[in-house]
Amino acid sequence: MKNILIGLAGTAVDPDVVRMVASFAKAEKARIVGVHVIEVRWNLALDAVLEKELEAGEHLLSAAEAIARSEGITLETEILQAREAAAALVDEARSRSYDLIVVGMPYRRRLGRVYVGRTVSGVFERAPCAVLAYRQEAPA
């Protein structure tokens, strides 16, 4: 696994995902890229300048970079704008030949079941490479 893409959505699970990737990617000296996807509403142009969202994205990527630094790895970062995060992550992984996509799932329940979310399930279904999903542990 030399090229790893981490999907970062700014949820509580992001730090755990970065630490987990660091634990196995450090020895491999893998290139790790944290990608945040801004989902653009249909009533806006795809390349619209969404300053608030961009700033929030920058902020969460900076936080992830800091965690990566403390774990002794370098995290490159990227921001994408798309209608759907899962499709953008998969297409980005394909165009840049990533070996692994890592996504995090905050622990959520809906209708009595653990809710996986459309981004995680979308990546699972369509990714051309290996996918690793990290689910936050259930609250005690």
CA distance 66 to 130: 26
Q: Is 80 in the site for another protein (CB under 8 A)?
A: yes
Alpha carbon dihedral 80, 92, 131, 85, in 10-degree steps, equals: 30
Q: Which of residues 29-48 bind another protein (CB under 8 A)?
A: 37, 46-47
Question: Longest C-alpha distance within the chain, in Å?
Answer: 45
Task: Tell me if 121 contacts another protein by CB under 8 A.
Answer: no
Of the candidates 98, 91, 96, the residue with the CA atom closest to the CA atom of residue 123: 91
**Are 33 and 58 in contact, with CB atoms under 8 Å apart?**
no
Smaller CB separation from another protein, 69 or 108:
69
Number of residues that bind another protein (CB under 8 A): 24
Q: Is 125 in the site for another protein (CB under 8 A)?
A: no
63 binding another protein? (CB under 8 A): no
**What residue ranges bind another protein (CB under 8 A)?**
37, 46-47, 51, 54-55, 58-59, 62, 78-84, 87-88, 90-92, 94-95, 126
